[in-house]
Amino acid sequence: VLSLALDRASPSTIYAGTAYDAMFKSSDAGATWVMANVGLAAVDVRVLAVDPATPAKIYAGVLGGIFKSLDSGRSWTTAEVGLSDINVYSLAIDPANPETLFAATFGGGAFKSTDGGGNWLPSNSGLTNPYVRAVAIAPSSPSTLYAATYYGVFKSIDSGANWTLANSGLEGLHILTLAIDPF
């Protein structure tokens, strides 16, 4: 299992992304699991994100792009216009506007979608390292984002339009993940 996601509207529903076998879903808090990968190629599912406003909408970041389900994981389609053949390691959904998503990619930097994953554009102004392993949105201020890279942490205060180094004390470290206090 490479990734887990919880449906906040129905906490007993859990999604698990795995290596090779793709996706599994549990509707009973993990007691039993069923495959949920129709349309999802046999790929490593590195990250999952459940839309907080529409829990039936799920995104899967994979090695090679992004897939999207509109029916709680029963079927999947690609959602990678502008992102094809890029390895996605992290996804963040804007809590104030769930149609806005950010993707952390290995070698392509950060990407942003403002149409629910339909189209993606690079969001790299000031982001001097294209090896982004994680992206996180500050829940208390959704226009503030952080990007974990192989050479430190970057911060954006304008929804990913511009990034600055926020690295004091972390110089030279490979940062692989981020967590933001929700309060």
Closest to 67 (Cα-Cα) out of 88, 53, 97 = 88
The CB-based long-range contact list for 116-120 (8 Å cut-off, 24+ gap) reads: 116/57, 116/68, 116/79, 117/59, 117/66, 117/68, 117/79, 118/79, 118/81, 119/81, 119/82, 120/66, 120/80, 120/81, 120/82, 120/83
Structure confidence at residue 86 (pLDDT) = 87
Structure confidence at residue 16 (pLDDT) = 95
Point out the residues of the chain with pLDDT beneath 70: 21
Closest to 129 (Cα-Cα) out of 153, 99, 100 = 153
Report the length, in residues, of the chain: 183
Structure confidence at residue 33 (pLDDT) = 95
Q: Which two tokens stand for residue 103?
A: 């993707």
DSSP state of 63: B
Structure confidence at residue 20 (pLDDT) = 78
List the end-to-end C-alpha distance of the chain, in Å, as a whole number: 29
- pLDDT tens digits, 61-80: 988 889 999 999 999 998 88
pTM for this structure?
0.91
Bridge partners, residue 146, by sequence: 136, 155
